[in-house]
Amino acid sequence: MKWALLSVWDKSGIVDLAQTLVENKYRIISSGGTGKALKEAGIDFIEVSEYTGSPEIMGGRVKTLHPRIHGGLLGRRDVDAQVMKDLDINPIDLVVVNLYPFEKMAGEHLDLDKLIEFIDIGGPAMIRAAAKNFKFVSVVVDPADYPKVKEAAAKGGFSYEERLALAKKVFARTAAYDAAISNYLSGLDREFPETYSFQFRNGRSLRYGENPHQKAAVYGDHGIAGQVPLQGKEMSYNNYLDVDAAVSLLREFDEPASVIVKHNNPCGVAVGKNGLEAYLAAREVDPVSAYGSIVAINTPVDTAIAEELCGTFVEVIIAPSYAPEAVEMMKKKPNMRVLVLPEKTETDAVRSIDGGVLVQRTTTPKEEWKVVSEREPTEQEIAAMRFAMKICKHTKSNAIIFANDHVALGIGAGQMNRVESAKIAVEKARSSLKGSAVASDAFLPFADTLEVAAAAGATALVQPGGSIRDQEVIDAANKLNVAMVFTGVRYFRH
């Protein structure tokens, strides 16, 4: 006879699984809520306390921490058989356990005394013991694996390779569980814990990294990291970076909008009456750079948009949904990756540096727009400045953006000084900059950037302010009749 121990917080599918085990001659050990579910379903099992001969104590805190349980999990069948026989310890062949939901409850703002009760002790101890002894014991921590358990039960058990794979999942789970507890408790009295632990699942190897001589993988099962194309080639390392940049900017807009990104910088941004209008306007900002780009649209993709996408070279398109006819049309471009826009996920930004990592947590800053020029900006200029600043926030520093109230006109990104960014933005503009607004991601240290913008036709400029030469720049704005606004918030993007 084989023995199985079932003890789960998430009881999804556990009754059905238990029924299969009984049908395949397993004797079940269980207790608590899991035992109650089995009892209500009429499934025969033996209570943990009856099996161990020891009652549950301390309100259930201690029930499975017993030699008869852990001996059955850790006993090596080829070494410890006699000891197990002498102490009447049955070998436990299968363990099905999922843990108290500490991660979920940590977000419920419970008192610490209450939250502590969601730190599982018996569960991690059992699954670690079983995973250590994977040569003889199968251990399951994910309800998604229950179909595999049913198949294995019917054929006599898991293979060695399958048990090893299940054991790997156990140690990944306990590592994540302990990391969540450590981060939470360490962060009680400080914004960031002294030891920062994090774990991402669903690792997939990529063909290469930023360049073919570099190896890479992507981890994550939510947000951009969890996306797999509906069609097209596999995503590359650079694709994921560019899609993340495009979507971050796209989320600035509520109205129909399109963002086109190349090498982690926007090369086209526009809003319109509908998705098609927005995409066409964004593409016209810089059609040369739009070739081989990432396109993000916040409206469903219909056949009209699909036709335009298929008429040029697009690496990736990401949108909330796609009309079936549009999907069929895009099959003409078998290499174009088609992604569904996911819900936003809030996570710390983690970047590696030599010897460690930098961790950044972003909250929405409160901009305080203050007119500092003698001339008040018009409503249209205010709208254009707001549009330009949305783009500026998501452009590599130093960033200078020319725009009107619905489309980017000139984008200067990633230069070592701000005036060069302004000159590049002017040079790249395909439309007149007369009457445009300009946004700068950081303060203007000199009046030169303002002078370049005004010479190109801009009539309004928004910047954080805060330079020791602010007054010189304000005086220049007044001389040039440029309306200028300070926001008080810098948006460096390195």
- Partners of 149 in beta bridges: none
pLDDT for 400 = 98
What ranges make up the beta strands (E) of 207-289?
A: 216-218, 257-262, 265-271
- Rounded CA-CA distance 388/101 in Å is 44
Question: According to the per-residue pLDDT averaged within each range, which of 117-121, 326-330, 348-352 is highest?
Answer: 326-330
Residues 6+ apart with CB under 8 A from 145: 166, 169
**Percentage of the chain with pLDDT > 90?**
73
pLDDT for 154 = 87
pLDDT for 165 = 94
pLDDT for 201 = 85
pLDDT for 137 = 93
**Interval 177-194: pLDDT, tens:** 999 999 888 888 888 888
Q: Which domains can be identified in the chain, with CATH numbers?
A: 2-186 (3.40.50.1380), 228-340 (3.40.140.20), 370-486 (3.40.140.20)
Q: Is 263 a catalytic residue?
A: yes
pLDDT for 120 = 86
Question: According to the per-residue pLDDT averaged within each range, which of 48-62, 336-350, 425-439 is highest?
Answer: 425-439
pLDDT for 379 = 97
pLDDT for 303 = 97
Q: b/e for 185-206, b at 16 or more Cβ within 10 A? A: eeeeeeeebeebeeebeeeeeb
**Interval 75-111: pLDDT, tens:** 998 888 888 888 888 999 999 999 888 988 888 888 9
pLDDT for 267 = 97
- Residue among 49, 14, 15 nearest 32 (CA): 49
- Rounded CA-CA distance 462/476 in Å is 14
- pLDDT band with cut points at 50, 70 and 90 for residue 268: very high
pLDDT for 65 = 83
Q: What is the mean pLDDT of residues 147-165?
A: 91
- pLDDT band with cut points at 50, 70 and 90 for residue 155: confident
- pLDDT band with cut points at 50, 70 and 90 for residue 415: very high
Prediction pTM value:
0.85
| Degrees to nearest 5, angle at CA 235 with 148 and 312 | 140
**Interval 276-313: pLDDT, tens:** 999 999 999 999 999 999 999 999 999 999 999 999 99
Mean pLDDT is lowest, of 135-144, 269-278, 447-456, for 135-144
Provide DSSP, 109-136: T--HHHHHTTS-SHHHHHHHHHHHTTTT
Supply the mean pLDDT for the chain: 93
Q: What is the mean pLDDT of residues 400-427?
A: 97
Q: Is the per-residue pLDDT at 141 higher than 90?
A: yes
Inter-CA distances, 171 with 132, 136, 139, 162, 166, Å = 9, 17, 11, 15, 9
pLDDT for 246 = 98
pLDDT for 92 = 92
pLDDT for 299 = 98
Q: What are the φ and ψ backbone dihedral angles of 330, each rounded to 5 degrees? A: -75, -15
Q: Is the per-residue pLDDT at 63 higher than 90?
A: no
Catalytic residue among 132, 148, 222, 233: 132
- Rounded CA-CA distance 214/205 in Å is 12
**Interval 337-394: pLDDT, tens:** 999 999 998 888 999 999 999 999 988 899 999 999 999 999 999 999 999 999 999 9
Q: What is the mean pLDDT of residues 133-149?
A: 93
Would the CA dihedral through 81, 86, 91, 96 be positive or negative? negative
**Interval 211-255: pLDDT, tens:** 999 999 999 989 999 998 999 999 999 999 999 999 999 999 999
Inter-CA distances, 410 with 269, 458, 481, Å = 10, 11, 21
